[in-house]
Amino acid sequence: MFKGTFYVPQAKNEVVLSYAPGSPERALLKQTIEKMRSEQIEIPMYIGGKEVRTGNLVPITSPHDHKHILGYFHRGDASHVRMAIDAALAAKAKWIALPWEARAAIFLKAASLLSGPYRMKINAATMLCQSKTAHQAEIDSACELADFLRFNVQFMTEIYNSQPDSAPNEWNRIEYRPLEGFVFALTPFNFTAIAGNLPSSPAIMGNVVVWKPSNTQIYSAKVIMDIFREAGVPDGVINLMFVSGPVAGKEIFTHRDFAGIHYTGSTEVFHEMWKMIGDNIKTYKSYPRIVGETGGKDFVMVHNSAVPAQVATALVRGAFEYQGQKCSAASRAYIPASLWPAIKQEMLDDLNEIKMGPVEDFSNFMGAVIDESSFDKLSQYIERAKADSSCEIVFGGKCDKSKGYFIQPTVIKANNPMYETMQEELFGPVLTLHVYEDEKFEETLDILDKTSIYALTGSIFAQDRAVVDYVMKRLANAAGNFYINDKPTGAVVNQQPFGGARGSGTNDKAGSSLNLIRWTSPRSIKENFVTPTDYKYPFLREE
Ligand code: NAD
């Protein structure tokens, strides 16, 4: 076998297409959407290279047009979880035996397929089934996922290149082994890129994976699986199954070969799973890796030296793009009284202009929220705020689920900075703000830091540099991704590695080598070229 020291192509962030009127990509995307809307797809599970159909069909609909059926998926049960685990374990030996450059080539090819021939398909699936606009789908399902795949391959080589020193006459090496057993990837509805990243990043490091996506993201998950298969991911290395979360958890967390979980989703589910893993700790061969990125209650802190138009734009984009269903969405803001009239006016000007409706109409800035239970939860929060004399609805407040799950962008002004919507993650287009007396800036920082259990993202808006510096130190642990004079959303792979601490997760920074390192179990190897043959050290000799 010929050998060489190979370098992977330098990864670059995928260029975001504009979909502006007259652009070729706009015409192509519209055609793809039209085609998908006119068909009904049937999606099997993919386990060990087999397409598994159970006949237990669950309809897939559009959140913004919930009577329109786009297709069906085959729901599985506990037996399919066991089948997926067995398939993963059976594929392990061959996957490990492949050289790393073969794994690199497979996932680089997947990135090229995604950003090329599959781009419109994955964007259209994300738009129709997750109600993202063309721009939101493009930055997520096409660009961010391609970035994850390309940069993770590069990070893998950087990790492999990280090697120890050697003393004279010996050679020390570190071998980055995959984990013993299988990895469970459990993914949320709101980012197609996260759904693709959580199973592929452990697989890039040589692991085998059982993947369970959210029910409301299955269409784009199927497109990801098509890409992986065409790119050459061997059968059984990534197994896609559609079962309920608790059913999957029961089988997986009691299995001896469970080696780790790569999770993104709500904090509550993470707590439950961590507890189950703890309860079963004696069952496992190794201590499982637990990597979880969870909820957020992301803040915008405004100082009275800030520019009102900048704050208003950050709030409108940060709180309402993708209907506020980003873990990083701005959902609480602290505004000095002196700037409130100007910020309010700027925000109202924008909000009065914003259009909400089906995402197939490209002039809509917002679509619908993901499903009925999310709609019902959000409308209850809004109704409670309307009835509470300490709150004022500054904008919005209307909810209508007759055709799609539409919640108007809503701004609540809460006199009480500890009001429930200042503390809890709502995961929808609802921004709560608290207007503070300018001289209570310090006190407000304290309140901000203590209000919620989360520490995912946050922003400071101030022109006064000393204030920026002070707030950075004062809020050192309030956010894993901290922004200065910018909205707290929109992290880019390899530019702002993403993750939070406290109740927001294990902060293993997706989009950086810090995440990939969790999917290896390094082995230190020492080879001695002059092996001793006498046990006696020199000091033992007589004078
Ligand atoms: P979710 O917690 O409802 O579901 C996440 C996944 O867990 C889904 O696949 C779901 O089917 C599964 N699940 C649900 N209950 C389960 C159980 N009891 N046992 C095992 N699995 C179970 O989250 P979601 O609504 O899909 O996504 C939104 C949440 O994800 C928000 O809280 C958001 O903040 C968070 N999120 C965080 C990040 C981040 O990077 N921190 C990114 C995106 C989303």
Long-range contacts, 443-448 (Cβ 8 Å, 24+): 444/301, 444/334, 444/417, 445/301, 445/471, 445/474, 445/475, 447/334, 447/417, 447/418, 448/299, 448/301, 448/334, 448/475, 448/478
Mutation test residue for ligand 1: of 269, 378, 426, the one with most atoms within 8 Å of CB: 269
Cβ–Cβ under 8 Å, residues 281 and 310:
no
Give yes or no: 327 in active site. Answer: yes
pLDDT tens string, the chain, 543 residues long: the values are 678 999 999 999 999 999 999 999 999 999 999 999 999 999 999 999 999 999 999 999 999 999 999 999 999 999 999 999 999 999 999 999 999 999 999 999 999 999 999 999 999 999 999 999 999 999 999 999 999 999 999 999 999 999 999 999 999 999 999 999 999 999 999 999 999 999 999 999 999 999 999 999 999 999 999 999 999 999 999 999 999 999 999 999 999 999 999 999 999 999 999 999 999 999 999 999 999 999 999 999 999 999 999 999 999 999 999 999 999 999 999 999 999 999 999 999 999 999 999 999 999 999 999 999 999 999 999 999 999 999 999 999 999 999 999 999 999 999 999 999 999 999 999 999 999 999 999 999 999 999 999 999 999 999 999 999 999 999 999 999 999 999 999 999 999 999 999 999 999 999 899 999 999 999 999 999 999 999 999 999 988
Q: Which atom of ligand 1 is nearest to the CA of 425?
A: 32
Q: Looking at 293, 321, 346, 360, which residue is catalytic?
A: 293
Question: Which residue's C-alpha comes closest to atom 30 of ligand 1?
Answer: 265
What CA–CA distance (Å, rounded) separates 123 from 543?
A: 81
- Measured from the Cβ of residue 512, the count of other Cβ atoms closer than 10 Å reads 18
Complete domains list, the chain, with CATH: 75-294+505-521 (3.40.605.10), 298-484 (3.40.309.10)
Instruction: Report the distance separating Cα 16 and Cα 142, nearest Å.
Output: 8
C-alpha of residue 187 to centroid of ligand 1, in Å: 6
CA atoms within 13 A on the CB side of 31: 7
CA of 543 to the centre of ligand 1 (A): 72
Euclidean distance between CA atoms 410 and 165, whole angstroms: 58
Residues 6+ apart with CB under 8 A from 468: 460, 462, 484
Are 153 and 200 within 8 A, CB to CB? no
Amino acid letter, residue 359: V
The number of the ligand 1 atom at minimal distance from the alpha carbon of 370 is 25
3-class DSSP state for residue 207?
coil
Active site residue 129: no
Q: Which of 81, 197, 241, 264 to mutate to test the pocket of ligand 1 (most atoms within 8 A of CB)?
A: 264
Q: Are 429 and 369 in contact (CB under 8 A)?
A: yes
Query: Best of 129, 189, 250 to mutate for ligand 1, by most ligand atoms within 8 A of CB?
Result: 189
Contacts with 63 (C-beta within 8 Å, 6 or more apart), sequence order: 129, 130, 131, 216, 367, 368, 369, 370, 371, 404, 405
Residue nearest to atom 10 of ligand 1 (CA): 214
Which of 263, 327, 370 gets mutated to test ligand 1 (max ligand atoms within 8 A of its CB)? Answer: 327
Instruction: List Cα–Cα distances, 116 to 148, 352, 522, in angstroms.
Output: 16, 37, 35
Could you identify the atom of ligand 1 that is nearest to the CA of residue 295?
Answer: 34
State in Å: Cα 14 to ligand 1 middle.
27
Q: Whose CA is nearest to atom 20 of ligand 1?
A: 245
10's tokens? 């330098």
User: For residue 214, which atom of ligand 1 is closest to its CA?
Assistant: 9
**Which residue's C-alpha comes closest to atom 8 of ligand 1?**
214
Distance 270 CA to ligand 1 centre (A): 8
Helix (H) or strand (E) holding 444: helix 441-451
How is residue 200 annotated by DSSP? H
Centre of ligand 1 to C-alpha 264, Å, is 6
- Catalytically annotated residue among 129, 327, 391, 399: 327
- Rounded Cα distance, 243 and 253, in Å: 15
**Which residues have C-beta atoms less than 6 Å from ligand 1?**
186-191, 194, 212-214, 245-246, 248-249, 264-266, 269, 272-273, 293-296, 327, 425, 427, 456, 498, 504-505
Between the CA of residue 359 and those of 138, 329, 407, what are the distances in Å?
Answer: 13, 19, 14
Q: Whose CA is nearest to atom 35 of ligand 1?
A: 265
pLDDT at 2: 73
Of 230, 178, 263, the C-alpha closest to 523 is 178
CB within 8 A of 405, min separation 6: which ones? 63, 64, 66, 368, 369, 370, 371, 372, 374, 375
CA dist 490 to 24, 192, 326, 464, 505, Å? 25, 14, 9, 24, 18
- Give the per-residue SS3 of 361-376: CCCCCECCCCCHHHHH
